[in-house]
Amino acid sequence: MAKTRKVLNDWDAPYIQALMKQIETQSKLTLAHWAIGYAELVLLPLWSKHYPDDVRPQKALMAARRWLEGAIKLPQARKMILACHAAARQAEGNPVAQAAARAIGQCASTIHSARHCMGLALYGALAAAYDSLGTTAPWEQLEQYAAEECGRMLVALRAVSTDDEPNPAKINWKL
């Protein structure tokens, strides 16, 4: 049996390129709101289905929201985000939950660096594909589902995007 992949890694895939192009036109705050909102709606339920009593991913998203509101400082939010990353590591052996938690941690981390929003697609789309098709589905089917999920992500981003954003995030994709 083939080992499950932990992340989408074809940065040249059209669905990844389309997201990157739209991301580059938006501010860090817009990207953070989009990534956090999508994670709350789509990915948090995937995590909670497997680990209903582990609220670390939920707390990471809540902390990111509180930072966006100015209610807490970045170091306070960072503690919750790091706990979410720990939850992902501890979910080894559960590809759906692990990918969902990784994506949630990256989405919450967008408050620190706009580039982190890409984790929504790279981990989150794969979590959705595994949840829908199972981890033993052929890679071609999983990638097709992930591409469709990225399309839904792009629609959601366009819905909250600012036309002619005066302060788009400056993202170096090569790091």
SS3 category, 135: coil
Print the domain residue range for 105.
14-160
Of the pLDDT bands very low, low, confident and very high (cuts 50, 70, 90), residue 1 is very low
Per cent of the chain over pLDDT 90 is 93
Tell me the mean pLDDT in the region 107-114: 97
Of 1-5, 23-27, 113-117, 158-162, the least confident: 1-5
Of the pLDDT bands very low, low, confident and very high (cuts 50, 70, 90), residue 174 is confident
- Residue 116 falls within a domain, yes or no? yes
| pLDDT tens figures, 7-44 | 999 999 999 999 999 999 999 999 999 999 999 999 99
- Residue 154 falls within a domain, yes or no? yes
- Residue 8 falls within a domain, yes or no? no
Tell me the mean pLDDT in the region 132-139: 96
Tell me the mean pLDDT in the region 102-111: 98
Q: Is the pLDDT of residue 2 over 80?
A: no
Domain tally, the chain: 1
- Residue 167 falls within a domain, yes or no? no
Question: How big is the CA angle at 169 (ends 163 and 159), to the nearest 5 degrees?
Answer: 35
CA distances from 157 to 59, 65, 94 (A): 23, 17, 28
Tell me the mean pLDDT in the region 90-119: 97
- Residue 165 falls within a domain, yes or no? no
The helix/strand count (H/E) of the chain reads as 9, 0
- Residue 170 falls within a domain, yes or no? no
Tokens of 120: 């929504």
Long-range contacts (CB closer than 8 Å, 24 or more residues apart) made by 45-54:
46/96, 46/97, 46/100, 46/127, 46/128, 46/131, 47/87, 47/97, 47/100, 47/101, 47/104, 49/96, 49/97, 49/131, 50/91, 50/94, 50/96, 50/97, 51/87, 51/91, 51/97, 54/87
Element (H, E) at 80: helix 74-90
